Amino acid sequence: MTGTLDIVYAEYNYWIYVTLMMIGFYAMIAKKNLIKKVIGANIFQTAIFLFYVSLADITGGTAPILPHGGEHVEHAADVIYTNPVPHVLILTAIVVSVSTTAVALALIIRIYNEYGSLDEDVILAARKSLQPEFSEYARQKGVAEVGDQ
């Protein structure tokens, strides 16, 4: 039992990220509001970022920035640097995350202007009334009654 407890204590950061990821994943699947789906995707992405950055961390390590210029490199061997490679990966991922969020929000604004709602079911029902062959899902759901507004 103590072995399990040790593992839980030594790797507590991963459990936090798994929880955070589950929250974001649930919001993406279960919520009907499109804005809440985007927020869920962002929570999900944040969990991945934190996971990578925590993989890079070294106890007692400092930021991967070498001191001053090239003259002082001789004592650089004493200093422990954290792993710079995941930081670079995540810098890329954050930028992509911002871009996808911006495009998603712009699409949601256009959807709202078009259908007057952010609710997934209402939008699907409105699409069904416009193009009946286009939304098999909405017909199966039987949400035609909310599509009249």
Partner 1 sequence: MKTLALLVVVITGVMLIYAGQDLPPFGDSNTDMYQHRMTQYFIENSESESGVSNIVTALLANYRGYDTLGETTVIFTAGMAVMLLLRRRET
Partner 2 sequence: MSRIQESVIIRTVVRIMVPFIELFALYVIIHGAGGPGGGFQGGVIFGAAIILYAMIYGIAEGKKKMSDALDKILASTGLTIYAGTGLLCILFGGMFLQYGSVPLIPDNPALVSKYLIDLVELGIGTTVAAVMISLFFDVSPPESEEGELPDYEGVDV
What does the binding site for partner 2 look like in residue numbers (CB under 8 A)? 63, 65, 70, 91, 94-95, 102, 105-106, 109, 112-113, 116, 149
Check binding of 1 to partner 1 (CB under 8 A): no
Distance CA 95, CA 20 (A): 20
Q: Distance between the two ends of the chain, CA-based, in angstroms?
A: 60
Q: What are the backbone dihedrals phi and psi of residue 62, each rounded to the nearest 5 degrees, phi first?
A: -110, 175
User: Which of partner 2, partner 1, none lies near 149, with the C-beta cut-off 5 to 8 A by kind?
Assistant: partner 2
Which is nearer to partner 1, 70 or 133 (by Cβ)? 70
With tokens 């962002």, the residue in question is 42
For residue 116 the two structure tokens come to 């007057």
In the set 74, 75, 78, 92, which binds partner 1 (CB under 8 A)? 92
The answer to whether 53 touches 46, Cβ cutoff 8 Å, is: no
Distance CA 77, CA 55 (A): 22
Distance CA 138, CA 129 (A): 10
Residues between 10 and 49 with contacts to partner 1, criterion CB under 8 A:
10-15, 18-19, 21-22, 25-26, 29-30
Which is nearer to partner 1, 110 or 132 (by Cβ)? 110
- Footprint of partner 1 (CB under 8 A): 7, 10-15, 18-19, 21-22, 25-26, 29-30, 54-55, 57-59, 61, 64-70, 73, 80-81, 83-85, 87-88, 91-92, 95-96, 98-100, 102-103, 106-107, 109-110
